[in-house]
Amino acid sequence: MGKSFPRHVFGLILVLGAVAASGILFFSLGKSGEAALDSKFIEKVGEGFIAPACGSSSAMSTCAGNAPSVSFSWSDGGNPLDLACESVWIRVNIMGDPLTSRSVDENLPCSGSYIWDATNPGPPTPSAKSNTAYEYFVRYRTANSPVTGQHFFYNVDPVAGIYEGHVISSGTFTTPNCLPTTGTIQGYKVLMPGNNQTAVPPANETVTLYNNVNTLYKASTDFSSTQGQRNWYYLESNGNQMVYDLVGDPTGYDMSNSWRGLEVFPPPRYNWNRLWSSKGHPERALDVVRRWVAPGVGTIHITGNASDGFPTGDGVIIFIKKNNAILWQGTIENGNTTGISYDINTPVSPNDNIDFVINKRGNNIGDVTNFDPSIDFVGSVVDRQTNVNPYMFSNVSAGSHVVSVGVPAGWSVGYTLCYNVTTCHNNAPTPGNSVTVDVPAGGYSDLWWHYTAPLPPQPPDYSLSANPPSIFATIKGSSPVTSSSRIYVSTIWGGFSDNITFSASDVEISPTITGATFNFSDMNLVQSEYSAGTLFSITIPSNTTPSPPSYTITIHGRSDDPVRNNSVDVTLNVALKDPGFRETLRPILEAFANFVSPFIQTSNASL
């Protein structure tokens, strides 16, 4: 009697046969089979193998703070084998780079939604990258388990070790740029020493934030009926602003839509000081001036060409000036339609005037001139200002910015600067009232300005000087000797005008010379006598022994204010002749007096 197989064995064989048959079916479809299926429900799962997408999904990406947030939603539509869904997991990879594949999250419901962001990043890395294209796959697995310890996955290749979950749906999404593009500049204005944050000044001084710009200006492109638009002004050489004229010239030359000079002439004479969008014409007595005003500090590159614009006349002289200083000039001869070119680089400060001038040369007949300059400005312009304390500039574009602060007359200022911390402000300030700040994206620059008050004004004061500063006295026997020096008064701080008093009792000499006397030609100098001074004299007796030969005389001058009293020192040099009036140097002096060399004097020379 033959053996019979249990029913459950036949059932298992049938299930496995169905799985194998379905695998063969889908593999045999290949590329041609894809066309036969609705592409909306087709997912390619490995080379040469396709399976219908069993459900739908979507992925929407926005920003949540500084990182992307991706919202997934999906719905399970079943599978060809009617296997029961146990859970769903989501995988992503950067578009075209399968090596970046990663799991967003697992054990999710078979139909539902999930938000992938910085607060819910999933394993093993945080949220998606900004400004990046991704592929995503929503997959499910079942509780059926043909392999012990494994969930059953729809696409199975045990030989290759592949247990790939069936794709409910897949798609792509691109994250926006969520990285911060702005930062903050903040800080205090403080008084040194001690970093006093409430002192006024400096608390009310203005802090200015500048933006770095590179702006191109062109006369014809920027031409307007409004003075000052795009920094252009339309002037006569006497400084008058021209008026915009909509009326044409009855003589036939089109002067409509141009700026003209102010002077009105009796008909048929018209004011020919004119500026059009790209050309100009001077008057007889006044040049025509197209002016550009610098919006900030930086450099400009001026380029262009000037040429004759009318077939009559004697030509013109053109100038390019900065604040009346000539940067370039040229002469356009009548008929020179080729023109001459200019190419100029120059630094500018805020409100510098760049003038493009047309001069009539000899006469102004037919002096229409093509003159259409371009200006490329690279520099910093004012973005905003504040005088509050503490101060803050928020939403500042990340990158380099110049910040400056006002300084009261006589004061000095320095700065301390740190990024994303506030711990640097006890450091020694860097001198200066302007600094370049590299604003961090999403962060802050902490910039303090440290002010030092000027020294208190010195009270009016004076000084004394002596001429000569050294005087000489030679004792010749029994007669006293007098020597003198003139004493002058100088004001060392403005406003001093006191009387200066001198007194013999206010003179000191060191070492002391017994019997010495002192005298002043004028003992009280008023302000008008400071420059003339007073003559000081010292008289020493004949019995003075010069030991040492040099003495210091201190002369005091007293002002009306007893606090301010000054003195000057005079050196006294004393020499002594012997009783016979002989001295060591006399042979040399007599030899010079007689034009005879002292080196040939005999030892018996009589003195």
Write out pLDDT tens, residues 334-352: 999 999 999 999 999 999 9
Answer whether residue 598 shows pLDDT above 60.
no
Q: SS3 of 3, please?
A: coil
C-beta separation of 388 from 202 below 8 A: no
Of 383, 349, 350, nearest in space to 207 by CA: 383
C-beta separation of 33 from 50 below 8 A: yes
Q: What is the pLDDT of residue 179?
A: 83
Q: Which one is predicted more confidently, 542 or 450?
A: 450
Same fold, 213-380 and 461-576: no
DSSP at 84: P
User: What average pLDDT score do residues 58-68 get?
Assistant: 88
Answer whether residue 52 shows pLDDT above 60.
no
Share of the chain above pLDDT 90, in %: 56
Task: Compute the distance between CA of residue 117 and CA of residue 350 in angstroms, rounded to an integer.
Answer: 47
Yes or no: domain 213-380 corresponds to CATH 3.90.550: no
Phi, psi dihedrals of residue 18, rounded to the nearest 5°: -65, -40
Q: What is the pLDDT of residue 591?
A: 53
Q: Count other Cβ atoms within 10 Å, centred on residue 208.
A: 19
User: What average pLDDT score do residues 553-559 get?
Assistant: 94
Provide the mean pLDDT of the chain.
81
Q: Which one is predicted more confidently, 57 or 277?
A: 277
* Tokens encoding 94: 């950067």
Task: Compute the distance between CA of residue 8 and CA of residue 20 in angstroms, rounded to an integer.
Answer: 18
Q: Which one is predicted more confidently, 545 or 229?
A: 229
Task: Compute the distance between CA of residue 445 and CA of residue 422 in angstroms, rounded to an integer.
Answer: 9
Q: Going by DSSP bridges, is the β-strand pair 189-192/444-452 parallel, antiparallel, or unpaired?
A: parallel
Q: Which one is predicted more confidently, 257 or 80?
A: 257
Task: Compute the distance between CA of residue 373 and CA of residue 353 in angstroms, rounded to an integer.
Answer: 14
Supply the CATH classification number for the domain 461-576: 2.60.40.10
Q: Which one is predicted more confidently, 98 or 374?
A: 374
Confidence category of residue 80, pLDDT binned at 50, 70, 90: low
pTM of the model: 0.53
Q: What is the pLDDT of residue 117?
A: 86
Give how far Cα 259 sits from Cα of 179, 268, 308, 454, 515, Å: 49, 19, 19, 51, 94
pLDDT tens column, 106-126? 889 988 999 998 776 665 556
Task: Compute the distance between CA of residue 398 and CA of residue 183 in angstroms, rounded to an integer.
Answer: 6
Least confident of 37-41, 108-112, 598-602: 37-41
User: What average pLDDT score do residues 211-240 get?
Assistant: 96
Confidence category of residue 47, pLDDT binned at 50, 70, 90: very low
User: What average pLDDT score do residues 590-598 get?
Assistant: 47
Q: What is the pLDDT of residue 76?
A: 80
Of 298, 409, 295, nearest in space to 353 by CA: 295
Q: Which one is predicted more confidently, 145 or 426?
A: 426
Confidence category of residue 89, pLDDT binned at 50, 70, 90: confident
User: What average pLDDT score do residues 99-108 get?
Assistant: 87
Q: What is the pLDDT of residue 57?
A: 83
C-beta separation of 59 from 173 below 8 A: yes
Q: What is the pLDDT of residue 196?
A: 93
Confidence category of residue 584, pLDDT binned at 50, 70, 90: very low
Task: Compute the distance between CA of residue 507 and CA of residue 554 in angstroms, rounded to an integer.
Answer: 6
Q: Which one is predicted more confidently, 531 or 45?
A: 531
* Tokens encoding 129: 């990258």
Answer whether residue 605 shows pLDDT above 60.
no
Q: What is the pLDDT of residue 478?
A: 82
Q: What is the pLDDT of residue 118?
A: 78
Answer whether residue 22 shows pLDDT above 50.
no
User: In angstroms, how far is the first alpha carbon of the chain from the final one?
Assistant: 175
pLDDT tens column, 489-524? 888 766 788 999 999 999 999 999 999 999 999 999
Answer whether residue 11 shows pLDDT above 90.
no
Q: What is the pLDDT of residue 110?
A: 86
Task: Compute the distance between CA of residue 319 and CA of residue 305 in angstroms, rounded to an integer.
Answer: 12
DSSP at 152: B
pLDDT tens column, 132-163? 999 998 887 776 544 444 444 444 454 554 44
Answer whether residue 4 shows pLDDT above 70.
no
User: What average pLDDT score do residues 85-106 get?
Assistant: 88
Segments making up each domain of the chain, as ranges:
7-174, 183-206+387-452, 213-380, 461-576
Answer whether residue 479 shows pLDDT above 50.
yes
Q: What is the pLDDT of residue 54?
A: 58
User: What average pLDDT score do residues 424-439 get?
Assistant: 96
Q: Count other Cβ atoms within 10 Å, centred on residue 491.
A: 15
Q: Which CATH architecture has domain 7-174?
A: Sandwich (2.60)
Q: What is the pLDDT of residue 101?
A: 87
Share of the chain above pLDDT 70, in %: 77
Q: What is the pLDDT of residue 491?
A: 82
